[in-house]
Structure 1
Amino acid sequence: MYDSLPTRGPPTESPSPSEYTSLLPKPTNIDPPDFLAEEAHDGKHDSRKAILAEFWWLLKGSVPVILAYTLQNSLQTTSVLIVGRISPEHLATSAFSLMFAMITAWMIALGGTTAVDTLASSSFTGSANKHDLGILLQKGFFVLTLFYIPVAVLWACAEHVFLLLGQDPQLSKDSARFLTCLIPGGLGYIYFELMKKYLQAQGIMRPGTYVLLITSPLNALLNYLFCYTLNMGLLGAPVALGISYWLSFGMLVLYARLIAGSECWGGWTLEATQNLRIFARLAILGIIHVGTEWWAFEIVALAAGRLGTIPLAAQSVIMTADQVLNTIPFGVGVATSARVGNLLGARDAGGAARAANAAAWLSMVLGGVVLGVLMGTRDEFAKLFNSDEGVVRLTAEVLPYVALFQIADGLNGSCGGSLRGMGRQHVGAVVNLVSYYCGALPLGIWLAFHGWGLKGLWVGQCIALYLVGALEWVIVTWSNWEQEVDRAFQRMELDVQERLEAGDGLDGATTASLDE
């Protein structure tokens, strides 16, 4: 089953990544096509063939990830739509509760698991002990469960928190009940993300999509069953969501066990509960890196609520669309982090640099396509959600700003993925904090309440994303990639040293591979 997995060592050429291949290239004896003969003769390292191949690898790796995150978002959207049919109050409660879940627990899943992007992808190709990847997965279970405990307590006490924030008493009470029922499901969401990252580090990108193609319609059926047939009303939605998340996780485990991905699992070990400092630090920085952008968008949503009913409705339309569109740069970023980490672990500094730059251009091309679609449909776009003439007109006025930052958002996603692959989440976090909170966000809020209205808020977001995208691309482009290879192996060496100091047995292959 696993005969086609790559051997360790520097790559040259490879087939496209599949369910059984790493994102790393594999040696091949196939002669290059005639139209590349001249470039091969010139000895150019970044030949047209290599660059086109890099685009192809990244595109093939990104598409299933994008589809998976789109389907993942659809679980929540479906729950909101089904429970929202009971009453407008249930619609508001479910949407508000899931927004709060997004900026708390979902950030642990989407941001905390970036530690796996960094450590697992380089470990898969850099360590001769394939079971090191399984130990990293177990560390993820342990660390992120600990991170989730305060969030679960917060959800259980959410009514008091919402009241302190000035929310409606009934909304606060109902949202707290919703979130309390979602506590078990939140952990399933985090574990599902961890399993996806474990497989993606091995170049196995599609299982998340396969699983969600099954659990997405099942989630809709469960929502209808619990909300209507069993008369659970509002609380049926979080119960159905929780079951869907745990089913998704369980099916991904079965995929890894029965089809592809199990060779890196060496069984449960106490090593996973020791030497957690590196993983925890990268996870915290990843939460800050991903969270700072999402939190800024939620601040914009709160500010829009103070502009009036029509701006709030238009903002809801735009935010719903942006959450779907954001899966494109985020998916490219996930594939990029795995690719860059794999190449660093294989000591291929040139390949990692080429992958990072190819990802940046790929994300801008995809962003340009989205920009064209949004601009071409801006006058009709809001009608998909609401027929009110004021909402449609205001959405059409604001949408060009949203369309404009799609290219920058693509850069943000791909370059952020490169930084995570390098283990430099702290750089992305600092760039986000400075760009959003020290400049663009205050400017957008000021413009919104000084004559610009909703457009002012999105002008601020547009400025922030271009600042973030440009700064991160400069940082990635000017990176010393040979040094990044050394840093990747230093992280692995530090982990080995700490395990030795803790008295854990390590095989000779692991230490020998790091000494080479």
Structure 2
Amino acid sequence: MRSYTTTGSNGVLNVTVIGDCPEEADEYTHLISKTTDRDSSISHGDGEYYEFEDGSKQLVLAEFWLLLRGSIPVILAYTLQNSLQTISVLVVGRISPEHLAIAAFSYMFAMCTAWLVALGGTTALDTLASSSFTGGSSKHDLGILLQRSFFILGIFYIPVAILWACSEPVFKLLGQDADLSRESARFLTCLIPGGLGYIYFEAMKKYLQAQGIMRPGTYVLLITSPINAALNYLFCYTFEMGLCGAPLATGISYWLSFALLVLYARFVAGHECWGGWSHKAFDNIGPLACLAFLGIIHVGTEWWAFEIVALAAGRLGTISLAAQSVIMTADQVLNTIPFGIGVAASARVGNLLGARNANGAARAANTAAWLSMLLGGVVLAILMGSRNHFAKIFSDDEGVVRLTADVMPYVALFQIADGLNGSCGGSLRGMGRQHVGAAVNIISYYCGALPLGIWLAFNGWGLKGLWVGQCIALYLVGFLEWAIVVLSNWNKEVDNAFKRMDPSERVEAGIMPANGSH
């Protein structure tokens, strides 16, 4: 039995290794020493005592607990983040079923466009920032990556804003009702200013998460969520702005969330890695832009499939569209669980790859998969238990409530697969393999399950047929991605993590000679 000690700024962390594996302890404690003074949800805490051996149950359980503690604040943050638009839908939905459908449809389109830039594009920071934090030569490299992401993601948002402003003919081209197309276009146009705030807020969260600071997003949203509810009610009813009041209120809430997160990073924790504005942010933008684009494709290939389902539901009638809107609004909230685990997993895997801990990264990825399936099972049980009353949260229409209850078993069934998809997708993003996840999604959704669901929907199954297809697709994606993660060469992934760093970082870290040769 060998003991190893690492000292963080807040205390001493003792790690006792049973057996002869000093390399594992050196790599493990190196990572913890990088995060021990930042956030206990990522570190094991100051002065805590652990005993483990390589491959032991104790080590796996310690990793399980670490990921659970890291995931909870992330899940809460994404739940609260989605609650901003969920509250908006609830406020507008009380006006009429038509307004409910318009608001839910508009936010779903926003999710598959601008929110996709935020949640998919910032996965580049999951890959680059987490490994740079533990493996980079300077802590200020992280601040440069954040600045670079502001610039690149802002550029990516421009075509989305143009699309929103011109979305009415697009919706008509997709076969949507003329009134729905017109009102949804108005709704999205009002949301354009707030979209950029959502993207920058997400980038700030990833900057802090790479440092192991997971909780500020939750703190900020606990403040802005009630403000958002008050603004939505004030704009829609008191100021009598109707449908347009909701996106304006929600957009203000997004910018307020971003501003509060910046203040947290400046005055509480996270400012050490900033280093000030630098022209280096405009150097070597290719890797981050490429990973951001692939991240958008990876996340988008799944979300676009759900958008196609929504478009198909619109052709099944108003009740089907309203029920689909209820289910999708709820699913966006529930999806925060697997997506939150995926974010925690990608940060953890990236940190461990940057710390040159191949075994630890593999263990973290597999542990995250089991954690996500466990939580997916819990969600499945809750949905099945509440399926007959669930839609009443959103609508009093009996037809909507009844149809939602009929479809809910299929939605509940895919929660386990959705969890596996979220966690393994997060691990792939931590490895910088967004393209692999995108390929799996394209094959699973578009080459089989999605066409099958649409065929079933218009051949007697209705809305249930669409969700049968989604259920099949998610199980295919989940187990394929897990197989890819399990079969990965993790030593090679460590090498790839350093190859993605800026050349100057690699030179200063002694990984690449100054003349640029390998």
Q: TM-score w.r.t. structure 1 length?
A: 0.89
Cα distance change on mapping 1:247 and 1:384 into 2, 3 Å = closer
- How far did 1:447 drift? 1.6
1:397 equivalenced with 2:395 (yes/no) = no
| SS of residue in 2 equivalent to 1:512 | coil
Match of 2:225 among 216, 223, 233: 216
Match of 2:246 among 234, 237, 249: 237
Structure 2 CA distance for aligned equivalents of residues 91 and 25 of structure 1: 45
1:472 equivalenced with 2:491 (yes/no) = no
Match of 2:187 among 165, 168, 178: 178
Structure 1 CA distance for aligned equivalents of residues 50 and 392 of structure 2: 54
Match of 2:39 among 3, 9, 20: 20
Structure 1 CA distance for aligned equivalents of residues 372 and 179 of structure 2: 43
Structure 2 CA distance for aligned equivalents of residues 315 and 89 of structure 1: 13
Match of 1:46 among 42, 49, 55: 55
- How far did 1:80 drift? 2.4
| Structure 2 contact 441–477 (Cα < 8 Å) conserved | yes
> Counterpart in 2 of 1:3?
9
- How far did 1:470 drift? 0.5
Taking the TM superposition and a 5 Å limit, the aligned residue runs for 1:19-98 are: 19-20=38-39, 23=42, 30=49, 32=51, 44-86=53-95, 88-98=97-107
| Structure 1 contact 23–338 (Cα < 8 Å) conserved | no
Identity %: 74
Match of 1:408 among 411, 417, 422: 417
Structure 2 CA distance for aligned equivalents of residues 93 and 292 of structure 1: 23
Query: In terms of mean alpha carbon deviation, does 367-376 or 211-220 score higher?
Result: 367-376
Match of 2:317 among 302, 308, 318: 308
Query: In terms of mean alpha carbon deviation, does 10-19 or 419-428 score higher?
Result: 10-19
Amino acid at match of 1:496: P
Structure 2 CA distance for aligned equivalents of residues 277 and 245 of structure 1: 28
Stretches of structure 2 that go unaligned for 5 or more consecutive residues are 1-7, 14-24
Query: In terms of mean alpha carbon deviation, does 85-94 or 441-450 score higher?
Result: 85-94
Amino acid at match of 1:10: E
| SS of residue in 1 equivalent to 2:28 | coil
Taking the TM superposition and a 5 Å limit, the aligned residue runs for 1:345-494 are: 345-386=354-395, 388-492=397-501
The CA RMSD measured in Å over matched residues stands at: 2.7
Match of 1:261 among 255, 261, 270: 270
Structure 2 CA distance for aligned equivalents of residues 122 and 469 of structure 1: 25
Match of 1:496 among 491, 503, 508: 503
- Give the number of aligned pairs: 494
Cα distance change on mapping 1:228 and 1:255 into 2, 3 Å = same
Structure 2 CA distance for aligned equivalents of residues 295 and 410 of structure 1: 18
**For each residue in 1:25-48, what CA deviation from the matched residue of structure 2 results, as whole angstroms up to 9, or x when unmatched?**
69979463xxxxxxx6xxx40212
1:298 equivalenced with 2:271 (yes/no) = no
Cα distance change on mapping 1:30 and 1:83 into 2, 3 Å = closer
Structure 2 CA distance for aligned equivalents of residues 197 and 5 of structure 1: 26
Cα distance change on mapping 1:177 and 1:29 into 2, 3 Å = closer
Cα distance change on mapping 1:129 and 1:436 into 2, 3 Å = same
1:288 equivalenced with 2:288 (yes/no) = no
Structure 1 CA distance for aligned equivalents of residues 271 and 345 of structure 2: 23
- How far did 1:220 drift? 1.4
Stretches of structure 1 that go unaligned for 5 or more consecutive residues are 33-39, 498-505
Structure 2 CA distance for aligned equivalents of residues 444 and 230 of structure 1: 43
- How far did 1:303 drift? 1.5
Structure 1 CA distance for aligned equivalents of residues 94 and 379 of structure 2: 31
| Structure 2 contact 157–196 (Cα < 8 Å) conserved | yes
Structure 2 CA distance for aligned equivalents of residues 384 and 396 of structure 1: 13
Cα distance change on mapping 1:89 and 1:17 into 2, 3 Å = farther
Structure 1 CA distance for aligned equivalents of residues 50 and 482 of structure 2: 34
